[in-house]
Structure 1
């Protein structure tokens, strides 16, 4: 086989994206989606594998900053649009693209790479660990009541066209980013993604709707949602589908959830992507009628291990020597002394005896604080080499809130 791996050239995007669509089931995206993704594509960070004139592999990366424990936003490559043609499987194409990407990411000075996976077992061999989960739910709004905190009735709600209030919603979102690991700072152009509303993707539902929560003229929250009316012999059985919700305080948060549960003619609220510790679970009267479940979300890789561990803070003081194995990026392999607390951290190579041994994949899973090193050790994926080191490091790596990726890329 003779193939060529190279950076995407002007004029090749349609062909390149068509291969991606084919690999993901062959259903073309609508013109609105294609236009948005074309505008967001960073050509210099997009690669393709070509067999003659045919594109048989695709991969790209977006330039992001990711929030980490402590509130900092760290330069991060958002790996995306990865595919291999079914005619060219088992020929090393995916490995070659992953190799090229990680080398380029390292050269560009980004200590982290992240992705969302169509199949979760693909990327572990390249050092990606599952660092966040997302909560999904189907809430029976005919049977579930909400207990709201004091001040909820002081929040005013106002309907608005989503495209008319993008800036207000984005301002709320931006204020929330430092407070929860795993969130992405939205660069110019990305504000269009939450309000993307192609008619062909509505599946019988309404156009995208927005409700703003306001107090003293200030926007303190928003919810983006659609409604899908349905009728049975016994009456209306419609569904509200929550796309995104952000709020700056408990009263605004509760006011938005109460609104969503009380929309006329609707009997179900579908929640597709929320943090696993989302507070509405403590407001509902019957959690069993909410059909809560979780799903893997953000897969994270440490590209430059030392810089990545120094970029976050730690919940409690930690001083531990990590023995890290990284076959795909061998520059990370070896012993590292991590010293840190709630103010900062240092991480440097050392010849001191190792105290914990683990793979870069499992270190990536624990990096945002959503997966404990203790639980990984219970699965045999982390080995304690000094008594007490595991408990110390596991507590320090934890986060006070669950990490969460609000949207894909």
Structure 2
């Protein structure tokens, strides 16, 4: 798959004009300039309520952001070292979909200073990104969010749910099989390397994943720029199969429970190429000595852990939104994935921005391949682009959205499309971006 380098795409001219009229300078920010990189990083930290970044942290972060298209909004005439009042960066990533991959315009570090809210800045940032993606032919956009009420207005749908899991190990018991491979501790650079390797090998197993990056894995491995950071106590364990091949890895930490001589095992990331590896790593966590509770987030909602313990009531599983998608090109997006069964419908997509708006004849064959063409026929199904985007990765049933009044049309056709769109395994996005 050939991916566009988003850094080659200029700042959106319409957003630039609108923001200039409002007294702001909207522009791309180069991370090779240490002054600009420092101000940009400080603004991102401020936006996410973090402490001021140190020089080492700025250098660390800039290494990752050099590969991205960084956008800042500044007060007109601001000094060279002034912090932007808003930030965003983006890049084009290969996102897994059922049966394949698709180029996705990934959006991250969206912040607006609390002093500059409700002045149209966020709207112009997000709209500018969507126009940039459309102009370059990227068929979908995606992001992870800290506030779930913002992005629906831009056509994003909560497409990739995640499970937050907590296990009372004293009650749970272990009912899983004993695996033939072996577990071994791993730390530091090796842990970071293993996390990246297994994530990349395994991400095609489920819809919704994108590649990680070096500083993401190094941070999980406790190698962040500052030793005092939250992952400084990181530990790791990996699983090698019977042939000695790396198949799974887990980064975790221990949190003391005062006065008990017991700990909570907090999993930062569990990546498994095979079910065997996943079971072995879960077994390591649940059976760990002196651990009373295991906690993890960003697991698939069909994680089999409830069937690996003797007492399912010892497992708390909370589902929440995580990966948000936004379809920009309906034919390209729908034809890029494969389907669970045949279906045929005339689908009308509503999109206030016009990017995905239209009426489409969708034909899905018994082989799971779709053909999508413009149509003048009356629609069987009508829905907004956010709802089509929510159902796209196979994790949100179209029929469920219809029951919520978000999809309208022939119930029989909606049911057939819903069954076709579902994926055999729940989608997964195991990282934030």
**RMSD over equivalenced CA pairs, Å:** 2.1
* Preserved contact between residue 191 and residue 251 of structure 2 (Cα < 8 Å): no
Matching residue of 2:421: 397
Q: 2:169 aligned to 141, 164, 169, which one?
A: 141
Q: 1:4 aligned to 2, 25, 44, which one?
A: 25
More moved, 174-183 vs 185-194 = 185-194
Q: 1:163 aligned to 143, 164, 189, which one?
A: 189
Q: Distance in 1 between matches of 2:157 and 2:323?
A: 8
Matching residue of 2:393: 368
Matching residue of 2:150: 122
* Preserved contact between residue 265 and residue 293 of structure 2 (Cα < 8 Å): yes
Q: Which runs of 5+ in 2 are unaligned?
A: 1-21
Alignment partner of 1:222 is 2:249: yes
Q: Secondary structure at the match of 1:388?
A: helix
Distance 1:297 1:30, change over 3 A: farther
Matching residue of 2:345: 320
Matching residue of 2:47: 23
- 1:6-405 counterparts in 2 under 5 A? 6-9=27-30, 10-11=32-33, 12-29=36-53, 34-42=58-66, 45-52=69-76, 53=78, 54=82, 55-70=84-99, 72-149=100-177, 152-186=178-212, 191-192=217-218, 194-198=220-224, 199-202=227-230, 207-214=233-240, 215-232=242-259, 235-328=260-353, 330-341=354-365, 342-384=367-409, 386=410, 388-405=412-429
Distance 1:36 1:105, change over 3 A: farther
Q: CA deviation at 1:299?
A: 0.8
More moved, 113-122 vs 334-343 = 334-343
Q: Distance in 2 between matches of 1:31 and 1:343?
A: 52
* Preserved contact between residue 41 and residue 53 of structure 2 (Cα < 8 Å): no
Q: Distance in 2 between matches of 1:190 and 1:137?
A: 22
Q: Distance in 2 between matches of 1:271 and 1:164?
A: 22
Q: Distance in 1 between matches of 2:290 and 2:411?
A: 59
* Preserved contact between residue 236 and residue 266 of structure 1 (Cα < 8 Å): no
The TM-score, its normalising length taken from structure 1, stands at 0.91
* Preserved contact between residue 222 and residue 232 of structure 2 (Cα < 8 Å): no
Q: CA deviation at 1:394?
A: 0.6
Distance 1:85 1:165, change over 3 A: closer
Q: Distance in 1 between matches of 2:401 and 2:98?
A: 19
Q: Distance in 2 between matches of 1:118 and 1:213?
A: 33
Q: Secondary structure at the match of 2:228?
A: helix
Aligned residues: 400
Q: Which runs of 5+ in 1 are unaligned?
A: none
Q: CA deviation at 1:31?
A: 5.9
Q: Distance in 1 between matches of 2:23 and 2:187?
A: 52
* Preserved contact between residue 8 and residue 43 of structure 1 (Cα < 8 Å): no
The TM-score, its normalising length taken from structure 2, stands at 0.87
Q: Distance in 2 between matches of 1:349 and 1:190?
A: 41
Q: CA deviation at 1:212?
A: 1.4
Matching residue of 2:3: none
Distance 1:387 1:299, change over 3 A: closer
